[in-house]
Amino acid sequence: MKIAVFASGNGSNFQAIIDRIKDGYLKDEIVLVVVDKPDAYVIARAIKEGVNVFSFNPKDYRDKKTYEELILRKCRENKVEFIVLAGYMRLLGNTLLAAYPDKIINIHPSLLPAFKGKDAIGQAIAYGVKVMGVSIHYVNKEMDGGRIIAQKAFEVDECWSKEDIEAKIHQVEHELYPKVIKEIGEGL
Ligand code: GRF
């Protein structure tokens, strides 16, 4: 599949996916990275990997429809077939959802439907949960709301700090996201 990755920050999931393309596990290609924060570190990662970047500041546009039409044009120019959200901190609008039905997935650092939205790990810690995990789901217009494709849970050790938990979450994400992308790509 020709994939676009949408991100807003560090881009460690982008890196994990492209690393699995480079080592031959995935037969897909990341043809575009879409970033809504022009200073996000994921941009440097994408440039280093030779991937086209479209970065934009939503504040420069009248509304979501206007910038999503531009994103859609970039996707079409790059022949994007599938969209992977990886830390993209923005709800998608109908322009993109209608153009890519069942072709957009997201990763979220909780066992959905628990702890939707921002700082899911902080929410889970505040609740004192003993089992945490990662979910990958199809994207619809609701935040973290689409049908779940895969989940992976782990037990939280009493002595783990928030940083330890974040590291564990990332380790799980970096294994699970390439696996799910592979399964979806092979099922097409
Ligand atoms: C991940 O924890 C993901 O679950 C969440 O945002 C984070 C992105 O991390 N949606 P990164 O930018 O891929 O490092």
What is the share, in percent, of the chain residues with pLDDT greater than 70?
99
Which residues contact residue 11 at a Cβ distance below 8 angstroms, ignoring those fewer than 6 apart? 33, 40, 41, 42, 45, 46, 86, 87
Average pLDDT over residues 78-100: 97
Global confidence as pTM: 0.97
Is the pLDDT at 99 greater than 90? The verdict is: yes
Instruction: Identify the three-state secondary structure at position 23.
Output: coil
55 lines ligand 1 (CB under 6 A): no
Distance 13 CA to ligand 1 centre (A): 6
The residue nearest atom 9 of ligand 1, judged by CA position, is 87
What is the Cα gyration radius of the chain? 16
Average pLDDT over residues 50-58: 98
pLDDT at res. 188? 56
pLDDT at res. 29? 98
How confident is the model over 150-179, as pLDDT tens digits?
A: 999 999 999 999 999 999 999 999 999 999
Q: Report whether 36 contacts 89 (CB < 8 A).
A: yes
What is the share, in percent, of the chain residues with pLDDT greater than 90?
99
Q: Torsion over CA of 126, 154, 16 and 77, rounded to 10 degrees?
A: -70
Distance 89 CA to ligand 1 centre (A): 9
